[in-house]
Amino acid sequence: MPPSDLTAEIAAAAARLIVEDGMEYGPAKRRAAKLVASRRSGPVDLPDNAMVEDEVRAYIELFCADTQPVELAALRSVALRWMERLAGFDPHLTGAVWNGTATRHSDVWINLFCDDPKSAEITLLNLRIPYDVGQTQGWRGEPVDVLTVTDRHPTLTQPVLVHLGIYDRDDLRGALRRDARGRSERGSLAAVRALMDPATSTPR
C-alpha cells in the first residue's frame, strides 16, 4: 500500500531536520510527526527509514548539491582516521557518513567489536584522548555503550562528533547484514578506504 500524503509529509519534514539540524532518523521522525500533526487531523503513521532516506537524498540534491560532496568527503576522512587508529577493534562505519547522506551537521558513527568491552576505553585513555560515555540503542534494540570523541577537519567550520559504539566481538557477524534494499548497513576499514576514491559512488 502506498504511503499516505500525511506520512509523505512527515518524511519530507524529517528529511529537513536531518539535513539542516543533523538529527538522527528516530528523533527527526517523531519531531516531524508532531509538527505535521499540529496542522492536520487524523491518525499519524510514521514513515520507515527507507522513505526518509529517499527524502534526505532528494533534499540534498535540491538544496545542498554544491556543498554536500565536500562535507561528506571531510567526514569520511575523519571516520577513516579514527578507524585506522582503532583498527584492532574491527571498526565499521555506519549511518549517514557511510551511506552518503551526511552533511556538515552529521555525526560520525563507528561500531567497534571488542573481546573486552573496556578495551576500547582503555585505548583512548592510553592515547590521552578525552571522551564522553553514553548509550544508544543497538540494531537488535539492546542498549549499547558509546564513547564520544571530538575531532576537526580543516574543510569544516565546526567540530565533528565521533561516536564509537561498543559491541561484543561475536556481534560482528550480525553487523554485516544488508538492509531491505540489499545494501550493507555498515562498512569495514577497507570499504571506507575504497570510498575515499573520488571515482567511487555511494556504498551498496
pLDDT tens sequence across 83-123: 999 999 999 999 999 999 999 999 999 999 999 989 999 99
Residue 35: exposed, middle, or buried by beta-carbon count in 10 A (0-12, 13-18, 19+)?
A: middle
- At 24, list the grid cell: 538522527
Q: pLDDT tens for residues 40-64? A: 666 678 999 999 999 999 999 999 9
Q: Is the pLDDT of residue 203 over 50?
A: no
| Cα dist from 124 to 82, 132, 135, 163, whole Å | 11, 11, 17, 13
* CATH top class, domain 68-195: alpha beta
Residue 191's pLDDT is what?
Answer: 94
**What is the chain's percent helix, strand, coil content, to nearest 5?**
45, 20, 35
Domain ranges across the chain: 5-63, 68-195
More confident residue, 185 or 89: 89
